[in-house]
Amino acid sequence: MPLRIGAAEVDRVEEQVMPVPFTLFTDDEDFIARRIAPLPPGFLDPATMTFQFSNHSWVIRVDGLHVLVDPCNGNGRRRAVPHFDNLQLPYLERLAATGVTAEAIDVVFCTHLHNDHCGWNTQQVRGRWVPTFPNAQYLFVDTEYRRWDTSGDPHPNDFNESVFDECVQPVVDAGQARLVTTPHAISQSLSIEFAPGHTTGHSMLRLESDGVRAYFTGDVFHHPAQITLCELHLPGCDDLPLAIATREALVRRIHEEHALLFPAHFSDPHYGSLGVDGDEIVFLPSGAPGSLAAPGA
């Protein structure tokens, strides 16, 4: 059942869930007991000290548009990360189960161009990579596009090898790509805003409908721990100090605006809001496990 945000409807499309060591963030026992242990179980398994890293997309229906945010890894690709290598997952079937087919998508937006955020941009048909969403306009932030464009200078990031040529260039060749600068208005309710650091051109999507606000933040956050301690991070940022500064600013903004937070990788229930406990800002998970019920519903 979709979540209603004002006049908008939001669905989640899961690709896969995988365990990741929580100690990549911190092994601070006091912090873990105070802030992580009370969260739903997907955010920490104390027996293994891992958390569930969810790869999923968001589908937003608003202003007469079907907008897909961050189309995950994609099937049948060679990837250095074993969990991403040669996937064969029913992502498109799960998308269709929300009532939105690939053909119905009007806009595809990738917060950034890491492999797990743009893989389903394309699929292989008769040995060629072609756009998965044939009627969509794909929006790429210009600074992010240039960071990965293989026609320019080499760009170090081994785990993202071949992603531009497989997942972006075929969209450009098909005439379905549009480079945009930020801020960029998609519609009356949706806009793209700059949120750099994790990658050079990392951006996010802002939704405002009937006075309710929500932010689809890609990899600004990987885990609720980073909301309370913004300096915590997973490896792989282009500019870590900038990523931390972006996170700090966004935590303040979301809290002050009483907005909803929709990250790309949070475990069940996948989205929420921010509150204050003592002198710390904390993540408040929303809805029931496995659902997209509205807060308090």
Report the alpha-carbon distance of residue 12 to residue 61 in Å, rounded. 12
Give the distance from CA 255 to its chain's centroid.
19
pLDDT 10s digits, 49-64:
999 999 999 999 999 9
Confidence tier at 158 by pLDDT (50, 70, 90)? low
Classify residue 50 as left (phi > 0), alpha (psi -120 to 50) or beta: beta
d(CA 113, CA 203): 10
pLDDT value of position 294:
34
- pLDDT: which is higher, 5 or 82: 5
What is the sign, positive or negative, of the torsion defined by CA atoms of 101, 105, 109, 110? positive
CA–CA dist 133, 104 (Å, integer)? 8
- The architecture (CATH level 2) of 3-285 comes to 4-Layer Sandwich (3.60)
Mean pLDDT score, 46-51: 97
Flag whether pLDDT at 26 surpasses 80: yes
Q: Is the confidence at residue 157, as pLDDT, over 70?
A: no
Q: Calculate the CA 245 to chain-centre distance.
A: 19
Share of the chain above pLDDT 90, in %: 86
Q: Where are the alpha helices (DSSP H) in the chain?
A: 29-31, 91-97, 115-118, 142-148, 163-167, 169-173, 225-228, 240-257
- Which one-letter DSSP state was computed for residue 103? G
pLDDT confidence of residue 79: 83
In this structure, what are the phi and psi dihedrals at residue 68, rounded to the nearest 5 degrees?
-105, 125
Given 3-state DSSP classes, what are the helix, strand and coil percentages for the chain, each rounded to the nearest 5?
A: 25, 30, 45
**Three-state SS for 83?**
helix
pLDDT band at 119 (very low <50, low <70, confident <90, very high): very high
Please count the residues of the chain: 297
Query: What pLDDT shows up at residue 152?
Result: 76
Helices and strands: H and E segment counts in the chain: 8, 16
- pTM surpassing 0.85? yes
Lowest mean pLDDT among 129-138, 147-156, 175-184, 204-213: 147-156
Q: List Cα–Cα distances, 222 to 25, 67, 218, 247, 265, in angstroms.
A: 10, 22, 8, 11, 6
Instruction: Return the pLDDT at 287.
Output: 57
Work out the pLDDT band at 160, boundaries 50, 70, 90.
Answer: confident
pLDDT digits (tens, 9 = 90+) for 238-262: 999 999 999 999 999 999 999 999 9
The band of 279, judged by pLDDT with boundaries at 50, 70 and 90, is: very high
pLDDT at 86 over 90: no
Cα end-to-end span (Å), the chain: 12
In the chain, domain spans = 3-285
Confidence bin at 290 (pLDDT 50/70/90): very low
